[in-house]
Amino acid sequence: MSKPLMAKATAVWLVDNTTLTFRQVADFCGMHELEVQGIADGDVATGVKGFDPIGNNQLDAAELERGQADPLYKLKLKFNAAAVGEEQRRGPRYTPLSKRQDRPAAIYWLVKFHPELTDGQISKLVGTTKPTILTIRERTHWNIAGITPIDPVALGLCRQSELDAAVQVAARKKSGDGIVMNDDERRKLVSTEQSLGMNTKGKLEEEDTVLANLAQFSRPEPKEIEGDFSDAESFFNLPAASNDGEEDESA
């Protein structure tokens, strides 16, 4: 179940202003029952001002009355558009001190093998800052010669599902913008159907041009020799040689 906005302050208000059990308050606010008991004893959330869930449109008054009448009843959070996405992580993720020295290697790997990722996406994946990413992109990092690219998933800086989701978002964005720079990016960012569609048009145009050029230099068809050669004997019947030379010698 989703937690209400300002869950601990809401628990403080419910403990101070209602007769709900600790379990009911804990279930509604997403807390442990002992933590709610600590609020009632004054050991937890000292100085926290209560947050009225009814006045802030997170809980119906009828729902609260039903919960107070039945100790086993679980309160239902009223839908509030302002609470959507409240639990999502914002900004760069927290990186433990033991793994912060591995971030340059992870950034180098992402920049090298996934250039389609933006600085903001890399920042969220490994928990770093954009200036650091920029220094590695431009190879101006103070230790750039000693950095070896290592998969951030192998380093434990992010999960494989998070990396795949970020790459897919970048791929859809670049595909929508029509940016296909080289063969490597084409394999990453463009589907097989799109790649074949782009290449087919160019190939067809090239083939048409070649065929048109060949037609200009094609040899003419051989012409038929005029004459009637239906009689084979007439074709081989050559004229007889003249006897004028023999008559001159005899004279």
pLDDT digits (tens, 9 = 90+) for 217-234: 555 555 555 555 555 555
Q: Do residues 11 and 39 make contact, with C-beta atoms less than 8 angstroms apart?
A: yes
Nearest to 15 by CA among 29, 1, 4, 5: 29
174-221 pLDDT, tens digit each: 776 655 545 554 444 444 344 444 444 444 455 566 566 655 555 555
Q: Which residue has the tokens 């591995």?
A: 102
Q: Do residues 107 and 136 make contact, with C-beta atoms less than 8 angstroms apart?
A: yes
Long-range contacts of 63-66 (CB under 8 A, 24+ apart): 64/18, 64/20
Decide which of 208 and 161 is more confident: 161
* % of the chain at pLDDT higher than 90: 28
Per-residue model confidence (pLDDT) at position 110: 94
Q: What is the Cα–Cα distance from 180 to 158, expressed in whole angstroms?
A: 27
Per-residue model confidence (pLDDT) at position 6: 85
Q: What is the Cα–Cα distance from 156 to 159, expressed in whole angstroms?
A: 7
pLDDT beyond 60 at 42: yes
The CB-side HSE value for 46 (13 A sphere, CA atoms) comes to 4
Residue range 110-124: average pLDDT?
91
Decide which of 71 and 190 is more confident: 71
Give the distance, in angstroms, between the CA of residue 172 and the centroid of all CA atoms in the same chain: 6
Eight-state DSSP code of residue 115:
T
Mean pLDDT of the chain: 75
Eight-state DSSP code of residue 227:
S
CA-to-CA dists, residue 33 to 1, 23, 82, 141, 181, angstroms: 16, 5, 26, 50, 57
Per-residue model confidence (pLDDT) at position 171: 87
Q: What is the Cα–Cα distance from 45 to 158, expressed in whole angstroms?
A: 33
Q: Do residues 190 and 135 make contact, with C-beta atoms less than 8 angstroms apart?
A: no
Decide which of 239 and 171 is more confident: 171
Give the distance, in angstroms, between the CA of residue 133 and the centroid of all CA atoms in the same chain: 19
CA-to-CA dists, residue 68 to 19, 74, 246, angstroms: 6, 10, 150
* % of the chain at pLDDT higher than 70: 62
Per-residue model confidence (pLDDT) at position 99: 77
Give the distance, in angstroms, between the CA of residue 5 and the centroid of all CA atoms in the same chain: 32
The region of weakest confidence among 95-99, 106-110, 146-150, 236-240 is 236-240
Residue range 161-170: average pLDDT?
90
Neighbours of 176 (CB within 10 A): 8
Residue range 240-251: average pLDDT?
50
Per-residue model confidence (pLDDT) at position 118: 92
